[in-house]
């Protein structure tokens, strides 16, 4: 069993490192685009889970609508190769110390279904929220460039660069 796992791991590592398509994807990543996306997410002021969901320019609601629109632009550029949607759960006040009022926790998800292997999928999403040191302060600015605007920017650029290159 251990020999089989070792052989599979070696095979995976060799093939992953020699597939030239991976290098093409890496080369196509734009540092400027990642920085622009980080700045856009930080400029929503706060993305605290309990922050504003109605404003078009501030809070978690504005951020997730912008992320969804970015995924949808990518889907439009690849002939609807992505299924983009919100996944949400209602968290009740008091479920934990951070939840001081009932709140919908909403994730933005993009799913790319395989064409060669239709039972395989690439699922893209990321951590959207940010907060200040006080976990219950949902009004103060918490731009969260490193928590986790950079991760979400990486997800967006990965989605944009991978939409034409279906490995599935």
The residue-averaged pLDDT of 41-61 equals: 96
3-state secondary structure of 113: strand
14's tokens:
């060799």
Q: Torsion over CA of 37, 62, 87 and 76, rounded to 10 degrees? A: -60
Runs of H (alpha helix) within the chain: 2-18, 20-27, 31-42, 59-77, 150-162
More confident residue, 167 or 47: 47
Q: Give the pLDDT score at 109.
A: 97
Query: Domain 31-162 belongs to what architecture?
Result: 3-Layer(aba) Sandwich (3.40)
Residue 108 phi/psi, 5-degree rounding, is: -105, 130
* Residue 167 pLDDT > 80: no
How is the chain split into domains, by residue range?
31-162
Q: What is the pLDDT of residue 14?
A: 59
Q: How far apart are CA 146 and CA 157, in angstroms?
A: 16
Predicted TM-score (pTM) of this structure: 0.84
Higher pLDDT, 27 or 64: 64
């Amino acid at each position: 069993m251990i020999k089989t796992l070792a052989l599979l791991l070696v095979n995976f590592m060799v093939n992953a490192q020699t597939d030239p398509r991976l290098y093409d994807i890496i080369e196509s990543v734009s540092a400027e685009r990642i920085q622009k996306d980080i700045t856009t997410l930080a400029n929503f002021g706060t993305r605290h889970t309990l922050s504003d969901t109605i404003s078009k320019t501030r809070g978690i609601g504005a951020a997730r609508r912008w992320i969804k629109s970015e995924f949808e632009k990518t889907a439009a550029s690849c002939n609807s190769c992505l299924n983009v949607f919100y996944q949400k759960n209602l968290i009740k006040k008091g479920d934990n110390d951070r939840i001081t009022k009932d709140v919908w926790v909403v994730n933005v998800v993009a799913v790319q279904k395989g064409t060669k292997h239709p039972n395989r999928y690439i699922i893209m999403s990321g951590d959207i929220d940010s907060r200040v040191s006080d976990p219950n302060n949902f009004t103060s600015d918490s731009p969260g460039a490193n928590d986790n605007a950079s991760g979400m920017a990486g997800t967006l650029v990965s989605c944009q660069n991978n939409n034409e290159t279906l490995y599935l």
